[in-house]
Structure 1
Amino acid sequence: MRIVILLLLVAFSYAYVATSVYVVEIKGVVGPYTYSQIQRAISLAEQNNGLVLILLSTPGGLADPTLQIIREIGNSPVPVVGYVYPDYSYAWSAGTYILLSTHIAAMAPHTVIGSCQPISGGIPVNESKILNALIGYLETVSKSYGRNGTFARLCITQNINLDAETALKYRVIDVVATGVDDLLKKINGMTVLLRNQQTELVVENPVIRRVEPSLTETLQMWLSDPVMSSVLSLLAFLLLLAAFITGHPAAAVAAIILLVISMFSILPTAWLGLALIIMGAVLILAEILMGMATHGAVAGVGAVLLVVGFLSAYPANVFSGELIHIRDWWLIQLGLYINIAILLGFLVFIVYKAVIIHKQRPPSEILTTLKGAEGVAVDDIGPGSPGFVIVFGEYWRAVSDTPVKKGCRIRVVEIAGEILKIEPVQC
């Protein structure tokens, strides 16, 4: 009877022949960029009869991208293999979630998984509503692939950890392999649940292709780094302080730029390119409306953001050389040409405005001598009664042969050391 059932299962099962393996390496914190990278890998594998191999060596990551990755793998038309690798690596928290959601879960011999209790603001979450939801979800996912659902519960409620041999013994994973080649040999001929269909996986001499992070994913990964986030926040605070003390608009604009950029790490990767384009355009327009007050510095930053945004808005395959079928390709090409034309138009206009302003008055002369520069009197100033003025957003001690009222427009006649000699222009 058992033989008959086995023959029936084989007769009604399908085979998936993988001629290529698309490798995604997750070495750091799981974030929106990870989800985007896995999405691209699945798309490439679907177009080229491949499977996706996720190499995990991560302390964990954000909850929303992790749940999106689990859902993406569950609906994948191609097999996705999770592998905690290399030796002596770990896949904790979000890494364990992802591993348990793959069609085939594997570990290198001296690796560890577990510690899945969610953390919010550095504090472990103990709210039953959240914990029960995650427990039920991870148990369901694990059991759907015929694995031990009890571990899914215990790694959340008790933060237990398992090594490779123990995980294999209790059916938490499917394979222990010493390397990628060993793994591919062991999974050849295995049966996986692919879109609720028992499917035999055939892997013979596949071509291994690495799916590297795209420009947008790399940028978002860089912005999500805790050290970089701290540096950006500190710089933004210092610039805001400088803007408050000096009243210089460039310092305020730079601080706002850093604050906005620091928030890009929480955006879905697909929207990051659009956010960069919008921010770049806003900065360029702000520079123009300010009459090029920062001599093109703000507009230059905006132009850089526009370039990065435009490059980020297109599939990484366009620039990495990967062959992938895209329907209506001419629309993407047309959009690229239009965006490049707009960008070049912006840059030409910026250069034109900068040249006009520089011809009117060389910035180097203004910054080195201040002679002829205009500002505002902060105090009442007169013969024998020095006071302070604001020129280019900075405070200067000044004297005048003519009485100058507080709030009047002034012009710098000459500079002697750190004291300006001024005259009234308008009051």
Structure 2
Amino acid sequence: MRKIVFFLLLLVVFSQAYVASSVYVVEIDNVIGPYTLSQMQRAISLATQHNGLVLLLLSTPGGLADPTLQIMKEIGNSPVPVVGYVYPDYSYAWSAGTYILMSTHIAAMAPHTVIGSCQPIAGGTPINESKTLNALIGYLETVSKSYGRNGTFARLCITRNVNLGAEDALKYRVIDVVAVEIGDLLKKINGSVVLLRNQKTELVIAGAELRYVKPTLTESLQMWISDPVVSSVLSLLAFLLLLAAFLTGHPIAVAAAIILLVISMFSFLPTAWLGLALIIMGAVLIMAEVLMGMSAHGAVAGVGAVLLIIGFLSAYPANLFSGELIHIRDWWLIQIGLYINIAILVGFIVFIVYKVVAVHRQRPPSEILTSLKGVEGVAIDDLGPDSPGFVKVFGEYWKAVSGVPVRRGCRIRVVEILGDTLKVEPVQC
């Protein structure tokens, strides 16, 4: 064991080498979006701080152009090796998945996997505009050639939607390795030379501990919203609620429709800003409910509180709940800020609960006006069992009778409504 450690130290001292003691795994098994970029950035940050390498497991039909190009840029500027691996067996990495695979320092595929079909699509229609195609072709060719890979495939997979299996991709130098599983991949790439920040660097894997970088709360939320089925349902509900709001004018329907419309836009928002957007939206909904006099009986404010909680939770460092904290300078300042946020949130929730309870305990004005039972007033005339008179309740004059004598000017309480006459009783005289 000492000899192995000594050899690794010599390797680091006398050659340009990167010794990876852990592997940070990111599973890209859905549509690529802003949440994918955020998750990969966290993986690179963790690997940088803990001398690891990043392993991207690709099994995706593609995704959005902007996050994909940003991911390619992040990989090119990464201080740690990033390995792309189309996995598990019988998976595929089409379109944006191929772009990402071709931009990694080491590109690998499982035996029965496929890559290709890179022509961009807008609104379900393939883009044939030369300006867009030439830009993507030039970029993907340049990135592929920088790693010594076949630039012709980069062109053909965009212009002709060419697809390749693992063996053909290896044969034509599109990828570097074909591996059966993750352990096999790590053995095959150990000792290989990668281009790391324009420096040829030998990759030495000193440990094969796999650490999975799971999506955070906001990344999972954005991923869920970006699902086509969820997006369609949200749009339909927003339309129905807007129609209901137009017909009834009810504030809850209007608020709910606005909430759904705004949330449906979160899928295009950079993930780093999603938490802040949730906090702002939650605070706006709570204040709107308060200003409306709690007319929605806490429904709008309750949704605002939920959004506020999710937003505040997303303010924590991404790996805090998984037990692996990313090192941040001046951590105590962040802690103070989080405690202040939590105190504000608790204050908001307490205020909301108080207002909801107060509203529900108070008798609605409509109920008071229709029943009048239990309402107090003043006797205008002397009243008795056989001598009806008038009383003043809510500023109005009502005909009334009483089972016991009541003198003029005494306080009375409504006991019962007898047709157009109130039956009252004395309260104070």
TM-score w.r.t. the length of structure 1 is 0.82
- How many percent identity over aligned positions? 82
> Counterpart of 2:387?
none
> Counterpart of 1:32?
34
Q: Which runs of 5+ in 1 are unaligned?
A: 1-9, 374-427
Cα distance in 2 for partners of 1:311, 1:11 equals 43
SS in 2 for 1:274: helix
SS in 1 for 2:235: helix
SS in 2 for 1:318: coil
CA deviations on 1:18-55 (whole Å, 9 max, x unpaired) are 00000000001000000000000000000101000000
Cα distance in 2 for partners of 1:101, 1:12 equals 29
CA deviations on 1:73-104 (whole Å, 9 max, x unpaired) are 00000000000000000000000000000000
The offset of 1:175, in angstroms, is 0.1
> Counterpart of 1:140?
142
The offset of 1:362, in angstroms, is 6.4
CA RMSD across the alignment: 1.9
* Distance verdict in 2 for CA 1:318–1:370, change over 3 Å: farther
Cα distance in 2 for partners of 1:35, 1:165 equals 29
> Counterpart of 1:126?
128
SS in 1 for 2:207: strand
SS in 2 for 1:319: coil
> Counterpart of 2:225?
223
Conserved? CA contact 2:317–2:325, under 8 Å: no
> Counterpart of 1:15?
17
AA paired with 1:46?
Answer: T
The offset of 1:312, in angstroms, is 1.1
AA paired with 2:357?
Answer: V
The offset of 1:246, in angstroms, is 1.2
* Distance verdict in 2 for CA 1:84–1:372, change over 3 Å: farther
Larger of the two Rg values belongs to structure: 2
Count of matched residue positions in the alignment of Structure 1 and Structure 2: 362
* Distance verdict in 2 for CA 1:193–1:254, change over 3 Å: same
Cα distance in 1 for partners of 2:314, 2:88 equals 30
Conserved? CA contact 1:116–1:156, under 8 Å: yes
Q: Is structure 2 residue 266 aligned with structure 1 residue 264?
A: yes
SS in 2 for 1:28: coil
* Distance verdict in 2 for CA 1:371–1:237, change over 3 Å: farther
Cα distance in 2 for partners of 1:106, 1:61 equals 20
The offset of 1:372, in angstroms, is 6.3
> Counterpart of 1:406?
none
CA deviations on 1:144-184 (whole Å, 9 max, x unpaired) are 10101110000000000000000000100000000000000
TM-score w.r.t. the length of structure 2 is 0.82
Conserved? CA contact 1:118–1:124, under 8 Å: yes
CA deviations on 1:88-134 (whole Å, 9 max, x unpaired) are 00000000000000000000000000000000011000000000000
* Distance verdict in 2 for CA 1:372–1:191, change over 3 Å: farther
Cα distance in 2 for partners of 1:75, 1:330 equals 30
Conserved? CA contact 2:116–2:162, under 8 Å: yes
| Displacement over 6 Å in runs of 4+ | none
AA paired with 1:73?
Answer: I
The offset of 1:264, in angstroms, is 0.3
Conserved? CA contact 2:20–2:207, under 8 Å: no
Alignment of 1:76-95 (within 5 A): 76-95=78-97
> Counterpart of 1:232?
234
Q: Is structure 2 residue 39 aligned with structure 1 residue 45?
A: no
SS in 1 for 2:258: helix
> Counterpart of 1:417?
none
Q: Is structure 2 residue 187 aligned with structure 1 residue 210?
A: no
The offset of 1:355, in angstroms, is 2.3
SS in 1 for 2:38: helix
Cα distance in 2 for partners of 1:323, 1:19 equals 17
AA paired with 1:153?
Answer: R
- Match among 318, 321, 336 for residue 319 of structure 1: 321
AA paired with 2:262?
Answer: V
SS in 2 for 1:216: helix
Conserved? CA contact 1:56–1:85, under 8 Å: yes
Q: Which runs of 5+ in 2 are unaligned?
A: 1-11, 373-429
